[in-house]
């Protein structure tokens, strides 16, 4: 059981209201684990939540494992594992891949599937990454929600769909990946506003206004600072524009600009 003074010390590290709520719930989950000594797990965590959770679990010296679908995963589930189960494969007892097969090929986009999910009342924390492959979609969901999807997801938009449930250990899952275009851009610095203006062909003032309106997320954390510097592998979401992953610095132009590789999600 985590003592109150330690709990308060952890909570005081965070000023953001949503982060405080997340940390409070995580501490409650940890206490449940410590008292009962059986497997418990988080919901699907975004990149910011994952970073916070790992920091706290390491600080408290709690044994855990992280489930992520593959190297392209942005959402994970953290399992708190008793010592007697630390070498067991347990993920498939809790998580399944839902394959959605539309009746019409090459018509549905990622946003269409997200819209269908939200229309069912499913929240972000209850669904993992969504991958598109060969006109089909692959969702990662908790086993406890299987029946709900089975009996309620029959259309995406106006297109009827069939469902298949796939064990997450199958090879078909390992082949899933994010589709993106790899491009090189020339920028004066690694400031996020400069990069976004170049990629989306916006003025610096347009980018500034959108950032100040709360449209920017770096590694799932909302950012309002227009001069934030990005680093390799940062994932940047810019509302109503798109999402990118920062690649490596290729070099410099003769004029001194940075040649930066960027992966622009399709």
pLDDT at 87 over 90: no
Point out the least confidently predicted range of 85-89, 202-206, 233-237, 258-262.
85-89
Query: What's the whole-number average pLDDT of the chain?
Result: 95
pLDDT at residue 172 in the model:
87
Of 135, 133, 136, 125, give the one whose Cα is nearest residue 164.
136
The pLDDT-based confidence of 177 (bands split at 50, 70, 90) is confident
d(CA 45, CA 66): 10
The bridge status of strand 95-102 relative to strand 159-166 is antiparallel
pTM for the predicted model, two decimal places? 0.89
What mean pLDDT do residues 227-244 have? 95
Question: What Rg do the C-alpha atoms of the chain give, in angstroms?
Answer: 21
pLDDT at 173 over 90: no
The pLDDT-based confidence of 69 (bands split at 50, 70, 90) is confident
């Amino acid at each position: 059981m985590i003592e109150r003074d330690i709990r308060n010390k952890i909570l005081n590290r965070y000023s953001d209201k949503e982060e405080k709520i997340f940390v409070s719930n995580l501490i409650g989950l940890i206490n449940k684990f410590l008292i009962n000594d059986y497997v418990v797990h988080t919901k699907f965590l975004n990149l910011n939540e994952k970073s916070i959770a790992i920091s706290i679990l390491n600080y408290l010296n709690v044994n855990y494992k992280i489930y992520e679908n593959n190297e392209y995963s942005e959402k994970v589930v953290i399992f708190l594992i008793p010592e007697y189960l630390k070498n067991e494969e347990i993920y498939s007892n809790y998580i399944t891949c839902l394959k959605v097969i539309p009746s019409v090929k090459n018509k549905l986009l990622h946003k269409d599937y997200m819209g269908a999910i939200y229309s069912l009342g499913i929240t972000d924390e209850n669904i993992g990454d969504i991958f598109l492959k060969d006109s089909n979609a692959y969702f990662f969901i908790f086993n406890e929600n299987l029946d709900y999807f089975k009996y309620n997801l029959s259309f995406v938009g106006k297109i009827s769909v069939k469902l298949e449930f796939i064990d997450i250990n199958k090879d078909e899952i390992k082949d899933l990946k994010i589709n993106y275009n790899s491009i090189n851009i020339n920028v004066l610095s690694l400031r996020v506003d400069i990069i976004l203006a170049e990629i989306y062909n916006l003025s610096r003032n347009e980018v500034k206004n959108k950032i100040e309106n709360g449209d920017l997320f770096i590694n799932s954390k909302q950012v309002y600072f227009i001069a934030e510097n990005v680093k390799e592998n940062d994932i940047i979401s810019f509302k109503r524009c798109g999402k990118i992953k920062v690649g490596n610095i290729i070099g410099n132009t003769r004029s001194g600009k940075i040649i930066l590789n960027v992966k622009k999600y399709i």
